[in-house]
Amino acid sequence: MTQPLRSLASVSNEVETALYEVRKKIYPRAVHGRFAAARWALVWLTQLVFYGLPWLTWNGRQAVLFDLGARRFYIFGYVFWPQDFIFLTGLLVISALALFLFTAIAGRLWCGYACPQTVYTEIFMWIERVIEGDRMRRMRLDQAPLSASKVSLKAVKHALWIAAALWTGVTFVGYFTPIQVLTDEIATWTLGPWETFWIVFYGFATYGNAGWMREQVCKYMCPYARFQGVMFDRDTLVITYDAARGEPRGARSRSADYKAAGLGACVDCNICVQVCPTGIDIRTGLQYECIGCAACIDACDQVMDRMSYPRGLIRYATQNAMHEGDGPRWFLRRLLRSRIAVYGALLALVSVVLLAGLYLRVPLKVDVIRDRATLVRDTSEGLIENVYRLQIMNTDERIHRYVVRASGLEGLTVSVRQPVEVPGATTLAVAVAVQVDPAGIKPGSHPIVFHVEDAEDPHLRADEKSRFFVR
Amino acid sequence: MSDFTSDLWSLYIALITVASIIACAVLLKSLSTRRVAKGEPVGTTGHTWDEDLAEWNNPLPRWWIWLFYITIVFSLGYLVLYPGLGSFRGIFDWTSAGQYQQEQAAAAATYGPIYEKFAREDFDKVTGDPQARQIGQRLFLTYCAQCHGSDAGGSRGFPSLRDNDWLYGGTPEAIKTSIRDGRNGVMPPLSAAVGGEEGARDIAHYVLSLSGRTYDPVRAHRGRDKFATTCIACHGKDAKGNQALGAPNLTDGVWLHGGSERAIVETILKGRGMPAASGITVMPAHKGLLDENRIHLLAAYVYGLSREPRK
């Protein structure tokens, strides 16, 4: 490896260079239209949910709260325990399958409309536009020499960015520490060290990613941006420039008959490039940088309208449609292809299983721990006794009274003070002695089952297996 | 520092450490810039995959390089603050033992007051306090349940703590002493003194008669005299035992090492708690594991168990 480099070093006109492309700052132009409106709708929706959810209360507590210290995860009426981890797994599987499905149908929908990177960049660009103006004014401001007005504009922008970012950090931490407590702590300046760290960390990440990094996150950091290419096929809707219609591009007057002049529909106004948040030219075809935000479609449609040309020079279209046919009909016909069917079926299956699991979930869990030192003992009545520790977890938020029974051997009796009362969202360890008359029972290990049942509601029960030893 | 035979080795290791860090920095710098002819591409790595796929011999991405530089800064800061550079202790003077003590002190500061509150309270009041009983149950399940069982019912060789029958006394102070200092009960082997197995069986039948069990009256009659000469020293004339020694009451139908004729004969012949005998008679001392405040709370819990009505 070093050999060719050293030989290169002997050449006289060489220079030492850092071989990095310097990022060219992108000044996306404001864009209006159908898809921009859809994105803003999703910005509002996701952010109302994100910023609003921690402020809702339910049963006198925060409606959505992930209490890591106590390991209780409250989501409205549900209280999840670490033992319910499978539901989180299910949710992640559903998210992954939904991502596969939507990407196979219509490309990077997630990237273009719902990804936090896109959403926060949109918000931060809006703040930037309000303070510094649109594309041309921002470019001019950056090139202008340092002046009081430039410094004050920049200062106001960054102050607003930091405020938005910190509030995002506070909201994020508010999912783990009750947000009312958190805001009280902030007001009284008594925030704990970890809360402070996570607010600042998450705030800094928001500020850095949405304010400074922007498209670089999508281009260089995001793994999903790179691997979703494998979910595309020739029938996936992607943002496409209709080269057959557009080329050869060129400037012309609005009244000219461009076809007679040998031109395509593209007026080469470059607005599609100016609005692109990742700084690419969609007219060179599908590129990995394209996050599918459709800003170029909105921009081009406006130009086409102004020129009185039909819309859709840049549009959502599949590769096959470009070559073989076009229009929604073609797309719908190709929608029923095998990969969509497989993703869709899996998604439906896992969703049904998860919902059924949630519906059938019983807010009671029992662990049985056999006493290990004392396997068997005799009672003064001549019975054989085994001792167990029952770990009864009441995952409901109200108090429950449970009756404990055991079955599996003829004449098993359970000695524990019945009913066992367990307060809401609490685990109780109960020592339980189980007796049986040894007459007619083979010495050895026998399977038994503990039944823990709510005294009022027989549907609320948990069965747990254990062993009973007879000597 | 005793780990090193001389200061030279500490210095040697410190030098190697610092030299490695500097070497890493130099390597990073040399890998992130290349000398190439003006206007020329950097060249490929020299390997071609799949007929026409080659890779530019570019350095790592810059953010990645910077991460490495940050690790170098971090390591220097770390070596100044924490031990790591030969025998230099670092300006924080951190040790794992010190951190352990700190965490212990922090835990004591958090939980200490809870135990202290109960330690100042009257024994009977603690016995009836639901919070104290919950804490007591946790302590019991951690320190006692291995031998006495989760339900404190005991088993052979391990006394039940809830039958209100006490080997060493059931007063709060006696229970605390048992937990704090442990107990060591011994039943000596009496084979020679009682005249072998026959004599032991006679005594066993007398003992069975004391708690109203079925027994052989002839043997019991013979055993009575042997009991009077051999056993009353510890178990007392009325066989009600002696809590000062831990000699069990033989009249109450509670059997620590088994109440069958065979078990009683074995106890007499081989003794209990002796090297050759089976069964354990030692209650270990817990004063190294539990402080006085915890012992107070645990004793109150055990005391409460013996008072619980049983079904």
Which DSSP string do the residues of chain B spell out, in sequence order? -TTSSSHHHHHHHHHHHHHHHHHHHHHHHHHHEEEEETT----EEEEEETTTEEEE-----HHHHHHHHHHHHHHHHHHHHSS-BTTB--TT---HHHHHHHHHHHHHHHHHHHHHHHHTS-HHHHHH-HHHHHHHHHHHHHHTHHHH-TTS--BTTB--SSSS--SS--SHHHHHHHHHH-EE--B---HHHHTHHHHHHHHHHHHHHHTT----HHHHHHHHHHHHHHTHHHH-TTS--BTTTTBPPSSSS--SS--SHHHHHHHHHH-BSSTTS-S--EE---TTTS-HHHHHHHHHHHHHHHHSPP-
Do A43 and A144 sit in the same domain of this protein?
Answer: yes
Q: Does residue A10 belong to any structural domain of this protein? A: no
Q: Does residue A16 belong to any structural domain of this protein? A: no
Q: List chain A residues with CB under 8 Å of B150.
A: 369, 371, 387-389, 429, 431
For residue A5, is pLDDT > 50? no
Q: Does residue A320 belong to any structural domain of this protein? A: yes
Contact A17 B34 (CB under 8 A): yes
**Which residue among A312, A332, A361 closes a domain?**
A361
- Kindly list the domain boundaries of chain B, sorted by start residue: 7-94, 116-184+285-307, 191-279
Give A94-135 pLDDT, tens digit per residue. 999 999 999 999 999 999 999 999 999 999 999 999 999 999
* Under 8 Å between Cβ of A123 and A44: no
Q: List chain A residues with CB under 8 Å of B165.
A: none
Structural element, H or E, at residue A296: helix A295-307
Percent of chain A with pLDDT over 90: 70
Give B233-245 pLDDT, tens digit per residue. 999 999 999 998 8
pLDDT given at position B179: 96
Percent of chain A with pLDDT over 70: 95
pLDDT given at position A4: 43
Confirm or reject contact between A380 and chain B (CB < 8 A): yes
pLDDT given at position B2: 56
Q: Does residue A20 belong to any structural domain of this protein? A: no
Do A125 and A224 sit in the same domain of this protein?
Answer: yes
pLDDT given at position A343: 95
For residue A431, give the chain B residue with the closest CA: B151
Q: Does residue A9 belong to any structural domain of this protein? A: no
DSSP 8-state class, residue A113: I
Give B113-149 pLDDT, tens digit per residue. 999 999 999 888 999 899 999 999 999 999 999 999 9
Do A421 and A285 sit in the same domain of this protein?
Answer: no
Domain at B191-279, CATH class: mainly alpha
Q: Which of A6-15, A400-409, B101-110 has the lowest mean pLDDT?
A: A6-15
Do A308 and A419 sit in the same domain of this protein?
Answer: no
Report CA torsion sign: B290, B294, B300, B305.
negative
Q: What average pLDDT does range A189-197 have in this prediction? A: 93
Architecture of domain B116-184+285-307: Orthogonal Bundle (1.10)
Do A141 and A42 sit in the same domain of this protein?
Answer: yes
Domain region containing A391: 364-470
pLDDT given at position A374: 78
Backbone angles phi, psi at A379, to 5 degrees: -95, 165
Q: What average pLDDT does range B55-72 have in this prediction? A: 86
Spell out the residues 6+ positions from residue A32 whose beta carbon is closer than 8 angstroms to its own: A298, A302
Q: What average pLDDT does range B187-206 have in this prediction? A: 91
Whether the model clears a pTM of 0.90, i.e. scores above it, the answer is no
DSSP 8-state class, residue A272: H
Q: What average pLDDT does range B225-230 have in this prediction? A: 91
Do A161 and A117 sit in the same domain of this protein?
Answer: yes
pLDDT given at position A64: 96
Asked if the domains B116-184+285-307 and B191-279 are classified in one and the same CATH topology, the answer is yes
Structural element, H or E, at residue A338: helix A338-360
In this predicted model, which residue has the larger pLDDT, A376 or A123? A123
Q: List chain A residues with CB under 8 Å of B154.
A: 374, 377
- Burial degree of A46 (CB within 10 A; 0-12, 13-18, 19+): middle
Do A243 and A299 sit in the same domain of this protein?
Answer: yes
Do A352 and A387 sit in the same domain of this protein?
Answer: no
Do A281 and A370 sit in the same domain of this protein?
Answer: no
pLDDT given at position B310: 56
pLDDT given at position B281: 83
Q: Does residue A354 belong to any structural domain of this protein? A: yes
pLDDT given at position B309: 67
pLDDT given at position A11: 43
Confirm or reject contact between A16 and chain B (CB < 8 A): yes
For residue A39, is pLDDT > 90? yes
Here the CATH number for the domain that contains residue A436 is 2.60.40.10
Q: List chain A residues with CB under 8 Å of B62.
A: 18, 20
Closest CA of chain B from A367, distance in Å: 14
What are the b/e assignments for B136-148, b being 16+ CB within 10 Å?
Answer: bbebbeebbbebb
Closest CA of chain B from A39, distance in Å: 30
Nearest to A13 among B37, B138, B158 (CB): B37
Contact A374 B32 (CB under 8 A): no
User: 3-state SS string over A118-167?
Assistant: HHHHHHHHHHHHHHHCCHHHHHHHHHCCCCHHHHHHHHHHHHHHHHHHHH
Q: List chain B residues with CB under 8 Å of A388.
A: 150
* Predicted complex ipTM exceeds 0.95: no
For residue A324, is pLDDT > 80? no
For residue A12, give the chain B residue with the closest CA: B37
pLDDT given at position A10: 42
Q: How many CB pairs under 8 A join A and B?
A: 85
For residue B6, is pLDDT > 90? no
Contact B59 A374 (CB under 8 A): no
Q: What average pLDDT does range A452-466 have in this prediction? A: 93
- Cα-Cα end-to-end distance for chain B: 65
For residue A407, is pLDDT > 90? yes
* Under 8 Å between Cβ of A321 and A244: no
- Give the total number of structural domains in chain A: 2
Q: Does residue A294 belong to any structural domain of this protein? A: yes
Averaged confidence pLDDT in chain B: 89
Give B12-52 pLDDT, tens digit per residue. 999 999 999 999 999 998 887 777 777 777 778 888 888 88
Do A196 and A74 sit in the same domain of this protein?
Answer: yes
Do A276 and A409 sit in the same domain of this protein?
Answer: no
DSSP 8-state class, residue A411: T
Q: Confidence class of residue A19 from pLDDT cuts 50, 70 and 90?
A: low
Q: Does residue A6 belong to any structural domain of this protein? A: no
Contact B150 A387 (CB under 8 A): yes
Nearest to A18 among B32, B141, B149 (CB): B32
Q: Confidence class of residue A16 from pLDDT cuts 50, 70 and 90?
A: low
Nearest to A431 among B150, B155, B158 (CB): B150
Q: Confidence class of residue A331 from pLDDT cuts 50, 70 and 90?
A: confident
Nearest to B38 among A15, A431, A433 (CB): A15
Percent of chain B with pLDDT over 90: 56
Q: List chain A residues with CB under 8 Å of B38.
A: 13-15
Contact B154 A16 (CB under 8 A): no
Q: Confidence class of residue A187 from pLDDT cuts 50, 70 and 90?
A: very high
For residue B151, is pLDDT > 80? yes
